[in-house]
Structures are given as C-alpha cells and as structure tokens.
Structure 1
C-alpha cells in the first residue's frame, strides 16, 4: 500500500531558483492530496510528475506563500474538464478568504469547489482505513497542521500453527483472520487469538506548515513515521525565528525527538541561506536521533510500514 510524499516547494516566504514556495503532494495508494499550494504549484506538479488527480487540498494557513498557487491550479483543473468535486480545508475563520482568492479573476470553476473550515482536534477527512486530523500550530495567523493517520492493521496470520490445529486450508483461514472463531469437523473451536498476532500499527505522516515548536505537534506526531516540520532558520537565527513565529532546525529536531518520530523532513527553508543550508540539518540532527532529511524540491519520500 503506497504512501509517499513529494516536496513541490520547500522555500520560505520568498522563492529561490532552486526552491519554490510551500507545497507537499501526498499519495496514499489511489488517493492524492496537496498540503498547501504556494505560487507555481501546478508547474511543480508537472515538473515532478505527480499528476493532477488531487482529491483534496489542505491549507495550513492563508499566507500568500502557501495559497497563491490555488487559483491557477483550480483553473487548470477546469480546463482539463474536471467534473468531480474538490474539497479545500482551511483554518477556521479563513474560508471566505479562500473562496475570494479562487474567484478573484471573476471565473467560477465548472466543478464543485467545497471550502471547509477546520479546527484543531477535528478529523477533517475520513476514508476507509485512514483519516486526516487537524492539530494546533502557532503562527502569526489562524493556522493548523495535519496528520494523516492510518488505522491499525490486522495481526499476522500464523498459517503453520493454524494447520497444526487442524484448520483446513481455505475459507476458514479468512474467517479467523477477520476475527471470527471457526468450528472444525470434530467439533473443536479455534479462536482467532490462537492464530492471529497482535494488531500492527498503521503509518502516520504529519505536516506542520509554519509554526513555532509546540507541545501540540509533539502530541500529533507521536510515533510518526514521517514528520514534515517548519525549519525556516538555523539555530544561530533563533531570535528571528521567535519574532516571525517559525522554527529553527534544532527546534524541529527536538520536537521530532520528543514525539518519537522515525524520520524528520525539514522544509520552509529561508532564502537567506542560499545553498548553504547544511547547518539547518546539522542543528536538527544534533537533537533528533532518527533519520533527518533536508527536503528539496522534487524529493519523494516513501513511507513504508514499520
């Protein structure tokens, strides 16, 4: 079951030659989502081959570097004869701004565009076997982060032991794996717990958007397989990070460590560093003892099952 994240934009508020403004494309098997859509997002989608089959867009907040790509994307989807609805999720109190942005040039898409205001603590999207939850972030405006959380998977089926207990190969295997006891020809009842292991955790992918390092992210990212965290500044510019309500690489690393996140991806890198961004990764790696990734445009990170 595929779960992957492609970074379409990893710059801070100002794009650079190498980095576009914020956008993250996430694909879970046949479903595709965008987390933020900075200016130029649709061109990045073409450049890095994600396709335009987006089911929903999740906006962390409505600063320009996170939303200005939305009108162009909606127009292109309209030109491509999209007929399925597009759901856009945005922090509470910002729905009218998003609607105005999309229709700023006076055009209304032919497909239905549904804008949903969300609040921290809500499950904003529910699908079979997973959901997307909003959590509190701390920025200079109404903002949220999002966590894609899969349901637990069934435990492993011990076929060898089932056969030892006399369960015939066939439908009774499926019944046991589904959690139902089965009766054998001699009247013996085999319970699921005899041949099925403990449930196995699903995967968790967490995206903060712009934020200070806060406990709400630690809670949302507990045992995350991939945490994508704001790392706008290096630790030597920590005061600037506080003034602008962003995080440093070291602060992102600390959050990942406290959450027990397996992997940390740093994004929203300030243009002030140019190509000299190694310090941000070093700052984060000093704090986080799992894998630390300095994201760049076009990077795809696959999220395997543990």
Structure 2
C-alpha cells in the first residue's frame, strides 16, 4: 500500500473548501506527514488516518501556513496517550521552532518530540524506503522531498524453479526473499529463478517553490509529482515575485521529467470558486494532471515492470 491523502490544499489562506497545507502518506502502515497547516489534526480525524501511528513530520519551510497545525496535533496526541517519539524534520531553524513548541503553554507530554534539520541531499532511511530532501526556491529557506522505495526483487519464474527441482511450497517464498535453498545436496540461488530487479515507487513533493532543476531531476520517472500550482499562467509575474509556480510551469516540468501523474496543490484563494483556469493551463502541456482537493486520496500502484 502506498496512499497519499491530501488533508489541506489551500494556498496561504484557508477557504471554506480548502484547509491549509498538509499531505499524509501511508506506506504499508507507516504514516508520514508533509507540512502541517492549522487544523491538520481535525482533517486527520475526518480522514480516519490513525494519527497515533505518525512517526515523522517533514516541513518544507517555516511559513505559518505550513506549521501552525503542529501545536494542536501534539496536544491531541498527548491527550490520547502517545508514548512513542515523534520526529519533526525540516530546513534550518527547525530545531529552534521545535524548542519553542516544547516550551509553549503548560503542556504535559509523555512522548519526545525530536528535531531534525535537513539540507538538500540529506536522507532519512525508513523500512524499505528513503525520504530525501530536495533543493527548492522560495522566499525563505525551503526544501522539497522525494520518497523512494527500495528496488524490488524480479519476477519469480515458477516454471524454472520447478525445472530445478524446487518443490511448490515454502521454498518458493524463501527464494523470492533472496534466500538460497538446498535440494538433495544441490543449491538453488535466487538469481536462478528471479528476473531483473524492479524499481520501487517514487513520490515527489515540491512544497512552495519556483520550478527548479533539482525538483525536475528528483522527479525523473516519478509515479506521482505533487507540485506547487498556486497560480494560472496569466499570473506568471506574480508567481515569480512570490516564488511560486504557475500550473503551466509545473506541467512543463512534469512533462520533461517523464512523471506518470501530476497533482497541483497550494491553490490560491483567488480560484476558490473555479479551478478550471489552472487545470486548463496544465493539461495543455501535461494531460495527466489533477487539481488537489481536501481529503482526496490517491493510491500509487506498483509498476508492472
């Protein structure tokens, strides 16, 4: 399972239909939160995500619309009896922010909140995948993130295994896990019955940014690119000034990178009534584009190859 839940998809200001930025990734039961705008804990409750399993919050930058949901989320976890540590990772000054959060109010938590400051290229190793920081270009220090699964074993050739004398049953599973098996004194190795290794899945989240070469490179052949698409193309000058991306620019980057699907988020409140201009600008360049909406879920399937 690799599922993305868009908890908040607004730009700098919430609207009646869009909460502030927050994206949850569920990878085989591991919960990772990317940005944590105000009200995120309520969105998690509505989405029934099981917030107590959350292990990391990855912040793209420290603007208020991306971080003000953290105090409430921490207190909700404390009320519910959380004991496991929580890691808050982000750009420089994240540790200072976490220190302030830990001293804010009269809170009594029975779990540790750990800060982790990251720079482009820094990676957090998880069980079967890695989250890597990407250089971005915003008005304050900022990062994007790439979630990349490990390579998967190649396809299991059942017929070849039987030819080699492997009995149908548990030995099949051992070979698929990379173990060597022995049959009547003969050794059968995984490479004897497995095809070439297959790539894992890749998700890239840009955060607030201008289009960058680093995001494009990280997004190469990604299964899903979630990119700042705050403005329509006719607002390019304002996008440049505020260090955001137009829908058409994000689509052009997705096309160059060869991604499978693009989702635009951080939608400006000026499109609260109608996101058609954004979608039209993007799909002219990259047809596989969606506009994120609050509580939208996207399952990222394994590739056939």
TM-score bracket, normalised by the shorter chain, equals over 0.9
Q: Tell me which residue corresponds to 1:81.
A: 81
CA distance in structure 2 between the aligned counterparts of 1:60 and 1:236, rounded to whole angstroms: 26
Q: In structure 2, list runs of 5 or more residues that go unmatched.
A: none
Shift of 1:172: 4.1
The answer to whether 1:100 aligns with 2:97 is no
Shift of 1:167: 2.7
Q: Tell me which residue corresponds to 1:285.
A: 283
Q: Tell me which residue corresponds to 1:177.
A: 176
Q: Tell me which residue corresponds to 2:55.
A: 55
Give the SS at the match of 1:37. Answer: coil
CA distance in structure 2 between the aligned counterparts of 1:101 and 1:283, rounded to whole angstroms: 40
CA distance in structure 1 between the aligned counterparts of 2:20 and 2:221, rounded to whole angstroms: 28
Contact 2:98 2:113 in 1 (8 A): no
Q: Tell me which residue corresponds to 2:39.
A: 40
CA distance in structure 2 between the aligned counterparts of 1:251 and 1:98, rounded to whole angstroms: 34
CA distance in structure 1 between the aligned counterparts of 2:182 and 2:103, rounded to whole angstroms: 63
Q: In structure 1, list runs of 5 or more residues that go unmatched.
A: none
CA distance in structure 2 between the aligned counterparts of 1:181 and 1:34, rounded to whole angstroms: 38
Q: Tell me which residue corresponds to 2:238.
A: 240
Q: TM-score, normalised by structure 1?
A: 0.93
Shift of 1:193: 3.2
Shift of 1:78: 0.8
The answer to whether 1:109 aligns with 2:106 is no
Q: C-alpha offsets along residues 129-185 of structure 1, whole Å, 9 cap, x if unaligned?
A: 111111111101111011111001111111122213333334543454344555554
Contact 2:58 2:89 in 1 (8 A): yes
Give the SS at the match of 1:132. Answer: strand
Give the SS at the match of 2:89. Answer: strand
Q: Tell me which residue corresponds to 1:195.
A: 193
After TM superposition, the structure 1 = structure 2 runs for residues 24-35 of structure 1, keeping only pairs within 5 Å, are: 24-35=23-34
Shift of 1:225: 0.8
Q: Tell me which residue corresponds to 2:225.
A: 227
After TM superposition, the structure 1 = structure 2 runs for residues 129-144 of structure 1, keeping only pairs within 5 Å, are: 129-144=128-143
Q: 1:109 to 1:188 in 2, by over 3 A?
A: closer
Give the SS at the match of 1:97. Answer: helix
The answer to whether 1:120 aligns with 2:117 is no
4+ long deviations beyond 6 Å? none
Q: Tell me which residue corresponds to 2:267.
A: 269
